[in-house]
Structure formats: C-alpha cells, structure tokens
Amino acid sequence: MSSTPPRRTFIPVPLTAVTIDDVFWSPRIRVNRERSIPHQYAQCQQTGRLDALRLQWKPGQPIPHLFWDSDVAKWLEAASYSLATHPDPALDRLVDEVVALIASAQQPDGYLNSHFTAVEPEKRWTNLRDWHELYCAGHLIEAGVAHFEATGKRTLLDVVIRYADYIGTVFGPGPDQKRGYCGHQEIELALIRLYRVTGNRSYLTLSQYFIEERGRQPHYFDIEARARGEDPAAFWAKTYEYNQSHVPAREQTKVVGHAVRAMYYYSAMVDLAGELGDASLLETCERLWDDLCSRRMYVTGGIGPSRHNEGFTSDYDLPNETAYAETCAAIGLVFWSHRLLQLGCESRYADVMERALYNGVLSGVALDGETYFYENPLASLGQHHRQSFFDCACCPPNLARLLASLGGYIYTRSESDVAVHLYIQGSATLTVDGQEVTLRQQTDYPWEGTVHLTLDMAAPATFGLRLRIPGWCRAARLYVNGEAVALDDRMIDGYARIERAWQPDDRVTLALEMPIERVTAHPDLRQDAGQVALQRGPVVYCLEAVDHDRPLHRILLPASAGLAAQFRADLLDGVIVLIGQAAATDPSDWGDTLYRTKPASWVPCPITAIPYYTWDNRQAGQMRVWLLAETCIS
C-alpha cells in the first residue's frame, strides 16, 4: 500500500448530471418509479408504519416496531432520488406530506423515534445493542440529505440536523456522555453524508467517534446490559462478532457477523479514511474486502450464507440451497465497493460492484417491481418465492433507493480524469479542464460487449479518460476515432487510460469479448466441488424447472457440450439465454433400488439457462446455479 495518505480523489458524478437511456436498466428504473415506489408507500400505509409517526399509540393496540422509521426513511430516500431525475408533482406532494409527518414526531430536544416516543419513552437509549435507535436515525439522516439534494428543500434536512445535533450531545467521550454506539451500524456513514452536505465538521467527528469507540474495553454493550439488570453472557448471538464490536476497527482481520451491519460499517470506515487521510483505516478496509471476495462471496455477489446470524460463517462455506445472501447485504457490498473505488480507481472494486448489481441485487425484486426476495439462494426445490413485503421490510426500500440512484454509480471524476465504471447507455455532463463536457454512451450491455462513447463540448479539453476492462473479459479492443489503440501500455489498475486533447465529437469504441464461460469454484468450496456455473459478461445464469422436463439435480454438463447465446425478446422482458445439449441420469431401470454398483445410464438433455436475476418470475419449480460437470483431468 502507498504511504501517501488516502483521499477521496475520484468523486461520483451526481445522478442529476447523468441520464440513463438503456435497453437493460431503463425499464427497471421505470418499474421502480412507477410500481415499486408507490407499492412500498401503500405497504407502509397499510402496515401502520406511517401512522406510527402520529404518536397516537395506545396500550392494547399493535405496537409500532422498533425500526419501522427506517423503512419510511428509505422510502423517502428512494422517492427523492426519483424526483431528482424524473420530476413528478404528485410524488413531490406525497413526499412533502411524509416529511411533515416526520417533522411533527420530533421532540423538543430533537429526538425522533416513533416507538420510543409513543410506546416506551423511559427506555430511550437503554439498549443500543439490540434496539436500532441510532440505525433509524442514520436512515432518517440519509433521507434528509437525499431530499435536500434532490429538491433543494430544507424541510427534512433541518429536522435531521436537529436530531444529529442532539445525538452529538448524548454520545461521545465527554464526562456526561454515553460512550456507546449502535448495534446495527448505519449512522456512521449517514453522519459523513451530513457533513459533506452541510460542511459542519462536528458530524464527521461524531462519526469518527462511533467508528473508533466500537469494540473498545470495557465493552459498552456489557455495561448497558448490566445496567438493565441482564447478564451480558446471555446475549443470544454469544459473540460480539455478530455486530463487529468484538475488537476495535483496526484490529479486525476477517469479515464476520451480520452481513448488512458489516457492509454499512466498512462503508463508513472507507468514507472516514478518505476524509481524514487515514492510511491504517483504509488498509483495514482493503484487508477485509480481500477476505470477503477471496473466501466469503457467492458467484452472484451475494454474501452472508447463514440464516442464524444473517451473515458469515467460515472460509469457503457457501451453501447454495440454504444460502441466506440477504438482498440488503448485496446492496451493502455495492455501497462498500463504490466507496473504495473513490479512494483508489481500481477495477477490482467496480468488478465486484457490477457482479452484485446484475445478480445478487437485481434478483431481489421481481420483474413486476412489486414482490421481493429477502434471501437469495443459489438453488431451490421450488418453495422459495418473492413476497410483497416483510415484517422486517428493510430490503424493498433499500432496492428502491439503489435503483433510483443508479446514475450516481456509473462515473467518477478526479482533477485530471474521468472514469467510466459501468457501461450503461445514456450521458453524463461535467466540467473538465474548464470546459463543460457531455460524455455519451451507446451500448447494448450486458447483452453485448461493444461500447461507443462520444464526447460533446464547445471547445477542446485535455483530460484522461479511464475505461474499465472488466475482470470477466479475456480480450478487449480499443479505438479512438476509428484508429486502434494498444491497450498494453495504457492499463492502470484495470482501466484503459487515454489522455489527450479531446476534440468535439471525438469517438471512443471499446469492444469487450463476451463468450460464455464455465466458472469453477475454489477447491476448498466443498458445496460446489465437481460443478460449474455459467456466466456471460457480468451475468450469472441458472436453470429453472419450467424449461426442463426432468429434475435439475440429474443434469450434468459434459466438458464437450457446446453452448450458444440466444436473445429471446418474448421471455422475461427480453433476455439472452444460454442453450446447449447436456446429459441427464436416467432412473427408468432403477425400480425400487436405492443403491447399486452398476453406473447410472445417461440420456441427452437439452438445457436452457436464464439470467439468475430473473428466476422465480414464472411458474414455481426447481432452480440451480451450480451444475454437475464432466471434467477432464490433464
């Protein structure tokens, strides 16, 4: 690692400066805007999440949940992003109503939580380990920042500023302050967002406190448990690895515990490292990121295999049928990777961000935008289906806010360079070398690997253009105004960098070869031994029972089997499927025999593989990502 203090040198181009007009993403963003956001508002209304903010609860009535406020906040954030790119007077009025409702629930001292104001006011801040008060506060703060940036209105921003100021009086190292932190990280990254939009450094300092204090001894969660009259050893999770407070941040070497908490924590650590130039904190984040991606991540970009802790177990433990792989965790991986990308423009971070987006994230929402996965297994017997909402409804609005803000993940810029991380058709407008430059992308990615970029500006401008060469790509070609450009001497951290005096209407073409590939797992990943997964470009594929006339576990993919990519406009809103001739075991001569010494017989079996993100959008049935494979030992 470089001895130079890390800085956030590659700043995302704001989503308000980006347009998306893309064959793949535009329909999903439209469905998110027209169906998911209204559907989630209706669910918040029907389940009492909005009414809880009226603070009219009475004993005997259903109790507002401890973290309902966070669901409303994430919905507000999603709606705000949508307003930023697609103005909608009706949605704007609805957002104003919800903001007013939240403001009305704020207490004179600045405190804002529907449950602990209306139901158990005497228990405010008494169980940070389990009760999510600061987590809810963090999501409210993020919503306030997003609403202000999208609309220019300070109505919610002023509310969350009051709340953050109050929190700053309660928590910290002072003699009359609580030396606590939240059991579910979120406020840490939210405070840094608030600092960036207000310039008030006290929010950065408070975030730093929460990050640095976590895991120190004496352990705060032990102290508060005893104050409640509880034995700290009775904590159900048995270990503070569950919430990453087992040791201080810089001493952590493995990704452990609850996956979403980990992703939000590490995201905040990267933000803090960039703001303070903290090399050791960034080194910790890089160490943890490497541990995750080399030992604990599914091929889909899903993370967290265990239902027990909604998180991590041990190295190379990635079961398929019982995979938890929470949608929010994959979204958190996008957040973390995107932040690392801002401190070091390295393609490995964008590769993982892309893998999660196209697979582990997008699988979380049905094509109709109104049903959702909480868990994303890589194999199913046919009983796992999306739901319209959940009692713990973190995933639907988390999906909505990410999809609505996707434009902010495509490009970053430094003082000298513009970097393209995701290949999505549309445009971005930014100022480079004193000139306003509009960069236009034209592509059918992820179905095809050719990307055309055109630069539109009034006068020449000199800067570096960085184009990611994805890790899945084995061969790429680059052209500037039709002339081939050698890649070998232009590669920097996985990006092809071209610096020149760009002229109006200059055209860059990047051709990424996109063959069908068979992915194998590390030899220590026992659940996938002797199997392969299919991938084309960034898209991971699976088999569904609806396309096959025999159980999927019988199907074997021979080493010699040819596979072809075929676009099906009539299937799953238009997808490329992979078709080929496999083989399947034939049980017709087994009778009632359970075991025998005679080998099974095989029959030809045509297969059709569909993108993983599209599964469970048709009739119920089996699904598998990993297929039995016939391999040759050389």
Give tens-digit pLDDT for 94-104: 999 999 999 99
Q: For the chain, give me the number of helices (H) and strands (E)?
A: 16, 23
Does 634 have pLDDT greater than 50?
Answer: no
In whole angstroms, what is the distance from residue 259 CA to residue 333 CA? 9
End-to-end CA distance of the chain, in Å? Answer: 38
Question: Which residues are catalytically annotated?
Answer: 310, 394
In whole angstroms, what is the distance from residue 543 CA to residue 626 CA? 9
Of the candidates 178, 199, 219, which is a domain's last residue? Answer: 219
pLDDT mean over 312-316: 98
Does 292 have pLDDT greater than 60?
Answer: yes
In whole angstroms, what is the distance from residue 615 CA to residue 540 CA? 11
Residue 225 lies in a domain: no
Distances (CA, A) of 84 to 21, 408, 501: 16, 12, 33
**Whether 87 and 206 share a structural domain:** yes
Residue 436 lies in a domain: yes
Residue 165 lies in a domain: yes
- Contact indicator for 390, 365 with CB cutoff of 8 Å: no
Q: If phi over 0 gives left and psi between -120 and 50 gives alpha, with beta otherwise, what is residue 301? A: left
**Whether 541 and 485 share a structural domain:** no
Longest dimension (CA), the chain: 80
In whole angstroms, what is the distance from residue 289 CA to residue 108 CA? 42
Residue 1 lies in a domain: no
- Contact indicator for 44, 434 with CB cutoff of 8 Å: no
pLDDT tens string 424-483 = 999 999 998 888 999 999 999 999 999 999 999 999 999 999 999 999 999 999 999 999
β-strand partners of 507: 454
Query: How confident is the model at residue 208, as a pLDDT?
Result: 98
Does 256 have pLDDT greater than 90?
Answer: yes
**Whether 295 and 188 share a structural domain:** no
pLDDT tens string 15-34 = 999 999 999 999 999 999 99
Does 631 have pLDDT greater than 80?
Answer: no
pLDDT tens string 316-350 = 999 999 999 999 999 999 999 999 999 999 999 99
* CATH assignment of the domain containing 445: 2.60.420
Query: How confident is the model at residue 189, as a pLDDT?
Result: 98
CA nearest neighbour of 38 among 397, 387, 398: 397
**Whether 507 and 620 share a structural domain:** no
Of the candidates 491, 512, 533, which is a domain's last residue? Answer: 512
Query: How confident is the model at residue 4, as a pLDDT?
Result: 81
Residue 290 lies in a domain: yes
pLDDT mean over 410-419: 96
Please state whether the peptide bond connecting residue 232 to the residue before it is cis, i.e. omega within 30 degrees of 0. no
**Whether 427 and 498 share a structural domain:** yes
pLDDT mean over 278-304: 98
CA nearest neighbour of 102 among 145, 154, 50: 50
> How many C-beta neighbours within 10 Å does residue 277 have?
13
pLDDT tens string 531-580 = 999 999 999 999 999 999 999 999 999 999 999 999 999 999 999 999 99
Does 488 have pLDDT greater than 80?
Answer: yes
β-strand partners of 171: 178
**Whether 422 and 548 share a structural domain:** no
Query: How confident is the model at residue 1, as a pLDDT?
Result: 47
- Contact indicator for 1, 286 with CB cutoff of 8 Å: yes
Residue 226 lies in a domain: no
> Per the structure, how many domains does the chain have?
4
- Contact indicator for 542, 615 with CB cutoff of 8 Å: yes
In whole angstroms, what is the distance from residue 426 CA to residue 404 CA? 15
The pLDDT-based confidence of 210 (bands split at 50, 70, 90) is very high
396-433: b or e for each residue (b if 16 or more CB lie within 10 Å)? Answer: bbbbbbbbbbbbbbbbbbbeebbbbbbbbbbbbbbebe
- Contact indicator for 360, 330 with CB cutoff of 8 Å: yes
Residue 39 lies in a domain: yes
Q: Residue 190: which domain range? A: 24-219
The pLDDT-based confidence of 3 (bands split at 50, 70, 90) is low
Q: What is the dihedral of CA 540, 544, 548, 553, to 10 degrees?
A: 90
pTM for the whole thing?
0.97
**Mean per-residue pLDDT of the chain:** 97
